[in-house]
């Protein structure tokens, strides 16, 4: 039986970071817009006759140009129906250009060499905020995101979008603003409150809950100047420990300092025992694998040195014992259920 012995040492750290890295200004956000249109100029790689909506769209387009054509008489394979999506940046102004993504919704084989016709892009309120048109660049990508495929069905029109309607955000005349933490936490909300109040030597920031901090603009600064200063203030940020597991690929991503609590766990022929001890002596006759790991005499025991009992060390030790990615994931999930891992475990 393979046996892994870890000695545990607890510690926590605070990271100094700018407020702009961990929070957003409420009201200052991107907006998604969407539209439906046609891509023309394809080399017989467009939608077939089974895509009735494409034929109807071609007919409607021709009618707008005073050409009356029945959809059932249209046999062109050089046209594809597409959905056009884009993101409007905050404070976008009329005439600003942006990239749009074009994706086939019919049975087109490829959008390569096509041109997107003028497309109104609407927001969630149904209003038109932008127009898009231009040559479609596939950039070696297809609808699956794989560059090796020869028939891509999605692409990008670079700088093909134009802002027509602005979304007004009046910050200049406001007396108050609100910050929203990207990850909720009472400790970090209070940390931002203290950092801002200490910077201005007055009580102008109040944490409203675990995610919102309300700010009052100082009299001697405009709101723009105030927010610019606030975003550059350093604070002691307590990041949320998280372990990301991709079961499909066997990829495990974890912070280097995620500590493990005492536990005894057996998985197949591997036994893991984690106990509390301040110092561990290197077993006589054992050999060092790296600065943190020591292999015992029978090569089935793995010891960690003082202060290195983390998820990263555990995963590295299991790999050296020949554990498969599936086994490592199962062990981490079991340890999370047993309470040995306090960090959030997210499986994707």
Question: What tens digit of pLDDT does each residue of 186-229 get?
Answer: 999 999 999 999 999 999 999 999 999 999 999 989 999 999 99
Q: Give yes or no: residues 277 and 224 share one domain.
A: no
Q: Give yes or no: residues 284 and 262 share one domain.
A: yes
Give CA separation, 205 vs 65, 74, 181, 197, 216, in Å: 59, 64, 14, 6, 7
- Angle among Cα 198, 203, 208 to the nearest 5 degrees reads 105
Residue 305 confidence (pLDDT) above 70: no
Q: Give yes or no: residues 109 and 39 share one domain.
A: yes
Q: Per-residue pLDDT averaged across 297-321, rounded?
A: 64
pTM above 0.75, yes or no: no
pLDDT of amino acid 296: 43
Residue 131 confidence (pLDDT) above 90: yes
Task: Supply the DSSP string of 253-293, one letter for each residue.
Answer: EE-TT-BB--EEEEETTEEEEEEE-S--PPPTT-EESSSSE
Q: Are 71 and 52 in contact (CB under 8 A)?
A: yes
**Range(s) of the domain holding residue 255:** 241-347
Q: Give yes or no: residues 102 and 189 share one domain.
A: no
Q: Give yes or no: residues 231 and 248 share one domain.
A: no
Distance CA 153, CA 102 (A): 8
Distance CA 208, CA 59 (A): 56
Give CA separation, 251 vs 147, 254, 324, in Å: 22, 10, 11
Q: Give yes or no: residues 36 and 154 share one domain.
A: yes
Q: Give yes or no: residues 159 and 179 share one domain.
A: no
Q: Per-residue pLDDT averaged across 69-89, rounded?
A: 89
Q: Is 207 helix (H, G, I), strand (E, B) or coil?
A: strand
pLDDT of amino acid 77: 86
Q: Which residues contact 303 (CB under 8 A, 6 or more apart)?
A: 5, 6, 7, 280, 282, 283, 286, 293, 294, 296
Q: Give yes or no: residues 86 and 192 share one domain.
A: no
To the nearest whole percent, how much of the chain has pLDDT over 70?
A: 82
Q: How confident is the model at residue 12 (pLDDT cuts 50, 70, 90)?
A: very low
Weakest mean pLDDT among 4-8, 40-44, 110-114, 145-149? 145-149
Distance CA 240, CA 46 (A): 48
Q: Give yes or no: residues 261 and 314 share one domain.
A: yes
Among candidate residues 147, 163, 179, the one where a domain is terminated? 163
Residue with tokens 């007055």: 202
Rg (CA), the chain: 29
Tell me the pLDDT tens digit for each residue of 255-294.
767 877 777 778 877 777 776 655 555 555 444 444 444 4
The residues pairing with 155 across neighbouring beta strands, listed in sequence order, are 102
Q: Give yes or no: residues 247 and 189 share one domain.
A: no
Number of domains in the chain: 3
Q: Give yes or no: residues 154 and 95 share one domain.
A: yes
Weakest mean pLDDT among 59-68, 111-120, 186-195, 281-290? 281-290
Q: Are 89 and 98 in contact (CB under 8 A)?
A: yes
- Angle among Cα 4, 320, 276 to the nearest 5 degrees reads 25
Q: Per-residue pLDDT averaged across 36-43, rounded?
A: 94
Higher pLDDT, 258 or 308: 258
* C-alpha of 229 from chain center: 27
103 assigned to some structural domain: yes
Q: Give yes or no: residues 91 and 130 share one domain.
A: yes
């Amino acid at each position: 039986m393979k046996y892994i012995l870890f000695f545990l040492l607890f510690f926590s750290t605070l990271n100094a970071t700018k407020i702009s890295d961990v929070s957003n200004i409420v009201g200052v956000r991107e907006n998604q817009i969407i539209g439906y249109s046609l891509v023309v100029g394809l080399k017989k790689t467009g939608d077939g006759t089974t895509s009735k909506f494409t034929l109807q769209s071609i007919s409607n387009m021709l009618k707008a140009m005073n050409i009356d054509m029945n959809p059932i008489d249209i046999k062109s394979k050089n046209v594809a129906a597409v959905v056009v999506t884009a993101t409007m940046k905050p404070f976008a102004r009329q005439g600003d250009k942006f990239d749009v993504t074009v994706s086939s919704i019919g049975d087109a084989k490829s959008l390569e060499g096509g041109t997107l016709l003028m497309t109104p892009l609407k927001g969630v309120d149904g209003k038109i905020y932008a127009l898009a048109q231009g040559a479609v660049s596939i950039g070696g990508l297809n609808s699956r995101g794989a560059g090796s495929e020869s028939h891509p069905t999605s692409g990008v029109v670079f700088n093909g979008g134009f802002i027509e309607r602005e979304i007004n955000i009046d910050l200049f005349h406001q007396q108050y603003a609100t910050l929203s933490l990207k990850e909720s936490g009472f400790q970090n909300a209070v940390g931002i409150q203290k950092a801002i109040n200490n910077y201005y030597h007055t009580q102008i920031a109040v944490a409203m809950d675990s995610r919102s901090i309300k700010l009052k603009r100082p009299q001697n600064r405009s709101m723009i100047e105030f927010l610019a200063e606030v975003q550059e203030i350093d604070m002691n940020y307590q990041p949320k420990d998280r372990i990301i597991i991709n079961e499909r690929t066997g990829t495990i991503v974890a912070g280097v300092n995620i500590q493990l609590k005492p536990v005894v766990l057996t998985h197949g022929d591997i036994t893991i025992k984690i106990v509390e001890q301040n110092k561990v002596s290197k077993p006589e006759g054992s050999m060092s694998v790296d600065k943190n790991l020591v292999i015992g005499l029978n090569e089935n025991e793995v010891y960690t040195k003082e202060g290195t009992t983390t998820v990263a060390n555990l995963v590295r030790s299991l790999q050296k014992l020949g554990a498969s990615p599936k086994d490592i994931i199962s062990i981490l999930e079991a340890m999370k259920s047993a309470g040995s891992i306090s960090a959030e475990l997210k499986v994707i």
